[in-house]
Structure formats: C-alpha cells, structure tokens
Amino acid sequence: MPSKQKPKSFGDLSLDVVKIEALLDQTLTVFDISSKSGEYGEYAAVTVRIGDSEEEKMLITGAGVVIEKIHRAKQAGLLPLPGKVSRSYTTPTYYDLVAP
C-alpha cells in the first residue's frame, strides 16, 4: 500500500500480482515468502520490489528452485535480499534466482 492512509477495506491492502516472466533479467528485492502445497506441488506468494521502485508487488510462482532459495534466505534472516530472475534457455520452464 503506497500511502500511509488507513485502509477502508481489504481491497486496499492487496498488491499488484506479477508473473515470473515479467521479472526476467530485472533486479528485484525479495522481502517475504509464504508457500502452500497445491495439487501440482508447492506454490509461493513472494513480496518483491522491482528495481528502485518503492511499490511492493506479489509474485505467485511454483518455480521450485526460486522457492527453495527464498526459503533458505528467510530462514537465515537474510531478507530483504536483492536478486534477478533468470530462465534456462534449454529448459524454458526452469527459473532460478541469481545475483543481480
């Protein structure tokens, strides 16, 4: 929520959702993660900021490597942490989180 005004409803608390493809090769800062097991495996909601923006966005992903790395960083108390989403060119559905 960009302003400091008191929210009038839960809708005022929602974050814009971005797809992982939209984050490719962009520097982002990861702030938090929450994950659940779903019908097709683990999925996570990740709070991020893109570039120098102060606006938080929500990344919803099932990318296992990305989820695991963020969980490790959170458990180690390293969040917020900068990174960059990359994709394998030989396996287009394989995403990774690397140094910016």
Domain contains 22:
yes
| pLDDT tens string 57-79 | 999 999 999 999 999 999 999 99
Domain contains 39:
yes
Look at the pTM and tell me if it is higher than 0.75. yes
Residue 35's identity, in one-letter code, is S
Tokens of 96: 């990774």
Using the structure block, give the residue that is written with the tokens 């960083």. 73
Contact 60, 17 (CB under 8 A): yes
Read off the DSSP letter of residue 8.
S
In angstroms, rounded to a whole number, what is the distance separating the alpha carbons of residues 80 and 78?
6
Domain contains 7:
no
| pLDDT tens string 1-12 | 444 667 677 767
**Backbone dihedral region of 51: left (phi > 0), alpha (psi from -120 to 50 degrees) or beta?**
left
Domain contains 2:
no
Residue 17 lies in domain: 12-98
